[in-house]
Structure 1
Amino acid sequence: MIERDHAPNLGTGLLGANFSRRNRQEATDDRAGIGRWIAIDESSYDGDQLHNGDRYMILGSVAIDDIDAAAILDTLRRETGIQKSAPEVKFQKMFAGATAGRRRVLLGELLAPGGPLHERASVYVIDKHYFVVAKLVDLLLEERFNARGYDIVSNGVARQLAVDLATEGPRALGRAGFGRLIATAVGFFSKRNRTSEHVTVDDLFTVIQESHAYARRRKAPQAKKAAQVLEMLRNTRPEAEAFARERPAEATPTGEHGLLDDSMDPLITAVPMVILHASTCYGGKLEVLADDQRLLTDDKLDVLERGATAVGVVHGLIRDNHLQDLVRGRSVDHPSLQLADLVAGAGRAVARWHDGQDDPAGQDLHPVVAPLVDPGGILMDEAPEDFARADTSRAKRR
């Protein structure tokens, strides 16, 4: 019988030794002079289950410490009539409904030019469907080419292959066929499939083969690009078998192949990129406070901290280590995390509205949220300004 570690840890609601080091209980304070604090929180995050639910995942960030954030929240509570007895200010509970229009006006004023959060807030957007296709290319095709001495990342080939399949796949395979491909890929790479009991290598390649055959039969010009990518994926069975063989059989936060367990989890990709974006915006040393997430063990935060710096140095965006600390905390203890929740929630509402869904909050907030969208997000061919428009063609296809 496995003994579970239920030892409590100060500064977090997460239990056990895996969450004992990187916790922050005391208020963040820029006046300490060590570095500038950034608070980050996510919305529409379902781990590596990326097929159903909202199309977009959001990571909201705010360059603010708890001292300044507390003053802003106090004013927001007073002006919006949020009871002091409410332990936290949360977007979904207090700003999302059809009757919360007045509250959204006040939130928009915080984010708009002249507001206290102007040029402090950022919205990092991940298109989940594109993310899955990009992971197919990354974990299978890129591995295959790399083993043969070819780099398809630096020259942009990997991204183009992913864009071709993600944009043309729904038209080449039909929405149901493309959805089946996405769902099977998610099922195979998901941590729920650690022992390959749910989706086997055979299952994955049956769908890839059938998708390729269907795309080849289509006469539409756009089907050709999707068929070409699927043709290459048909030859990556050895890479899929290696992935299944090397991934941990149990939930392991450490070890040589530990992060393989999180290959399809967008939070692992997004956190370093959000930190890097903040560094290029604000300069100097950063201290980052993330909301509690069971995925982010101490060991994984160690890896992400190193990764955030390595990516920036390799791409010439920063010259040296820009991250002073990466810690977690409870939003009930940190007003800055509550503001990050508001930014992430507003980003999710606008992304839903942009995706053709009926979302009153997105309708109200898109003029102030679209300019906050990070152009470095994981998107196909969308730019930040596209989130200021509703994609009515998507709504018609629902």
Structure 2
Amino acid sequence: MHGRPSGVPAGPPVTADVPVPAGAPVPAGDGLAAGPELFCDESGYEGENLVGGITDVFAHAGVTVPAADAADCIRELRDRIRSPATVYKANHLQREKHRGTMVWFLGPDGPLPGRARVHLTEKAFFAVARIVDLLVSGTDPADAPAMLRGAHARGPAGALYREGPRRYGRERWRAFLASFNELLWINTRRGAETSADGFFRLADELHRAGAPGEAGRLLGLVRGARPRADALRAALLADPRTVPALDSLLPALAAAVTYWGREGAAVTVVHDRQTALTEERVARLYEVCRPPRAHLRALRFVDAETDPRVQLADFLAGIARKRASDALAGLADPELDELLRPYVAPDSAWGDERSWALLDPGPARRAGLTSA
């Protein structure tokens, strides 16, 4: 920890420009107007660990708050919270004794209205969406339109997500998702310790248990997808640097670039340092976020504690992740939900209908976000 108060750096933030990697499209010189600088951070990210991890929700937030306003906000938070911590995090605002401060931060008098957005990923639903995309639809995990399309509760993935636990029981269904997670979670540390046999054995058992409707139809298609799964695993094993099939960070980041550049402007992303954003994944992001789909002008990394704007993104991501996780668990908080909804991305990867009813910005709020 540094002794300097958070959000009031002695000099310019320490940044690291990420050059356009070899093979990626050159983002500048295309005639597009310069768009906003988007300052990003996340909460709940566990890489490809979608089932059985510490968190059940991943939140990725971006803010376009000017530097002076962000620094003023950090000073205001320090005056209100009065913690001796050198760097404030979301959990400072989430303590019950600081509830009023969190309400101010999210509310109309805080720094965020019209200048912030958070994309939520319900990890279990994202796993189901990947089953449908990769094994049923045969989508290439590196397919750019698919990454920007995201995972939605409408369509086959939503049907399988909703019917699976009801038809087969929650424990059995969770074991099926965990087996899929193990099947495609491959890196140099883990290697190929899990074969495809276990997953397809479970898929066969569930299908033979019988289920009418969409869940049964989809599981029948999954049973026949062994060649596709073997080919995908072989590709991932052959090159550990390959962009992973189960990663939720790149889709959320691509969605952010698309939203903030929706008027056709090029977006510069300033992100908290994140080891998961390797050179290969950054190259993929540049490729995905290219006109006419979106436009990423540049990506820079900073240390969050040196830039108050990234700290605001950290606060929003942490608050949103905790509230979304509580909503999944059936815990209501009408005041916080009302404040949070305008910031939630309508295209979040979310399947649970009951909790989404609490988080969904709704048609009126979506219109407000679009015109902000």
How far off is 1:159 after superposition? 5.8
TM-score, normalization: structure 2?
0.78
TM-score, normalization: structure 1?
0.74
Tell me the alpha carbon deviations over residues 285-321 of structure 1, each in whole angstroms, 9 at most, x when there is no partner: 32211111111023322321331235xx35xxxxxx6
How far off is 1:344 after superposition? 0.4
The alpha-carbon distance between structure 1 residues 158 and 343, as it changes in their structure 2 partners (threshold 3 A), is closer
How far off is 1:372 after superposition? 1.4
Secondary structure of 1:118's aligned partner: coil
Secondary structure of 1:49's aligned partner: coil
Q: Corresponding residue for 2:230?
A: 241
Alignment of 1:61-72 (within 5 A): 61-72=62-73
Q: Corresponding residue for 2:156?
A: 161
Query: For the residues of structure 2 that align with 1:250 and 1:285, how far apart are their CA atoms?
Result: 32
Q: Corresponding residue for 2:44?
A: 44
- Paired residues of 2:257 and 2:295 also in contact (CA < 8 A): no
Query: For the residues of structure 1 that align with 2:164 and 2:200, how far apart are their CA atoms?
Result: 16
How far off is 1:66 after superposition? 3.1
Q: Is the counterpart of residue 267 in structure 1 residue 268 in structure 2?
A: no
Query: For the residues of structure 1 that align with 2:51 and 2:198, how far apart are their CA atoms?
Result: 17
How far off is 1:132 after superposition? 0.5
Q: Is the counterpart of residue 189 in structure 1 residue 170 in structure 2?
A: no
Query: For the residues of structure 2 that align with 1:105 and 1:176, how far apart are their CA atoms?
Result: 39
Alignment of 1:74-223 (within 5 A): 74-83=75-84, 86-92=85-91, 94-97=92-95, 99-100=96-97, 103-143=98-138, 160-192=155-187, 197-214=192-209, 216=210, 223=212
Letter in 2 for 1:270: A
Query: For the residues of structure 1 that align with 2:326 and 2:138, how far apart are their CA atoms?
Result: 37
How far off is 1:193 after superposition? 8.3
Secondary structure of 1:379's aligned partner: coil
Deviates more, 1:44-53 or 1:373-382: 373-382
Q: For structure 2, which runs of at least 5 residues remain unmatched after alignment?
A: 1-12, 21-32, 141-145, 361-372
Q: Corresponding residue for 1:340?
A: 313
Letter in 1 for 2:171: A
Secondary structure of 2:305's aligned partner: coil
Q: For structure 1, which runs of at least 5 residues remain unmatched after alignment?
A: 1-9, 13-18, 24-32, 146-150, 253-257, 315-320, 390-398
- Paired residues of 1:48 and 1:190 also in contact (CA < 8 A): yes
How far off is 1:168 after superposition? 0.5
How far off is 1:275 after superposition? 1.6
Letter in 2 for 1:373: V
- Paired residues of 2:49 and 2:185 also in contact (CA < 8 A): yes
How far off is 1:115 after superposition? 2.9
Query: For the residues of structure 1 that align with 2:277 and 2:73, how far apart are their CA atoms?
Result: 28
RMSD: 3.3
The alpha-carbon distance between structure 1 residues 144 and 249, as it changes in their structure 2 partners (threshold 3 A), is closer
How far off is 1:198 after superposition? 2.5
Query: For the residues of structure 1 that align with 2:183 and 2:37, how far apart are their CA atoms?
Result: 38
- Paired residues of 2:18 and 2:298 also in contact (CA < 8 A): no
How far off is 1:338 after superposition? 0.6
- Paired residues of 1:165 and 1:226 also in contact (CA < 8 A): yes
Q: Higher relative contact order at CA 8 Å, sep ≥6: structure 1 or structure 2? A: 2
Alignment of 1:234-383 (within 5 A): 234-249=223-238, 251-252=240-241, 258-259=242-243, 262-280=244-262, 284-309=265-290, 313-314=292-293, 322-356=295-329, 365-380=336-351, 382=353
The alpha-carbon distance between structure 1 residues 117 and 20, as it changes in their structure 2 partners (threshold 3 A), is closer
Secondary structure of 2:162's aligned partner: helix
The alpha-carbon distance between structure 1 residues 206 and 235, as it changes in their structure 2 partners (threshold 3 A), is same
The alpha-carbon distance between structure 1 residues 275 and 144, as it changes in their structure 2 partners (threshold 3 A), is closer
The alpha-carbon distance between structure 1 residues 367 and 20, as it changes in their structure 2 partners (threshold 3 A), is closer
Q: Determine which of 217, 231, 239 is the counterpart of 2:220.
A: 231
Secondary structure of 1:296's aligned partner: coil
The alpha-carbon distance between structure 1 residues 183 and 224, as it changes in their structure 2 partners (threshold 3 A), is same
Tell me the alpha carbon deviations over residues 39-77 of structure 1, each in whole angstroms, 9 at most, x when there is no partner: 111111111111123332111111124333112111221
Letter in 2 for 1:370: R
Query: For the residues of structure 1 that align with 2:228 and 2:191, how far apart are their CA atoms?
Result: 14
Secondary structure of 2:301's aligned partner: strand
Letter in 2 for 1:82: S
The alpha-carbon distance between structure 1 residues 192 and 251, as it changes in their structure 2 partners (threshold 3 A), is closer
The alpha-carbon distance between structure 1 residues 385 and 120, as it changes in their structure 2 partners (threshold 3 A), is farther
How far off is 1:244 after superposition? 1.6
Query: For the residues of structure 1 that align with 2:234 and 2:288, how far apart are their CA atoms?
Result: 25
Query: For the residues of structure 1 that align with 2:65 and 2:254, how far apart are their CA atoms?
Result: 18
How far off is 1:365 after superposition? 2.4
Secondary structure of 2:228's aligned partner: helix
Q: Corresponding residue for 2:27?
A: none
Query: For the residues of structure 2 that align with 1:195 and 1:339, how far apart are their CA atoms?
Result: 35
How far off is 1:96 after superposition? 2.7
- Paired residues of 1:41 and 1:344 also in contact (CA < 8 A): yes
Instruction: State the number of aligned residues.
Output: 329
Letter in 1 for 2:161: A
The alpha-carbon distance between structure 1 residues 109 and 96, as it changes in their structure 2 partners (threshold 3 A), is closer
Query: For the residues of structure 1 that align with 2:257 and 2:297, how far apart are their CA atoms?
Result: 11
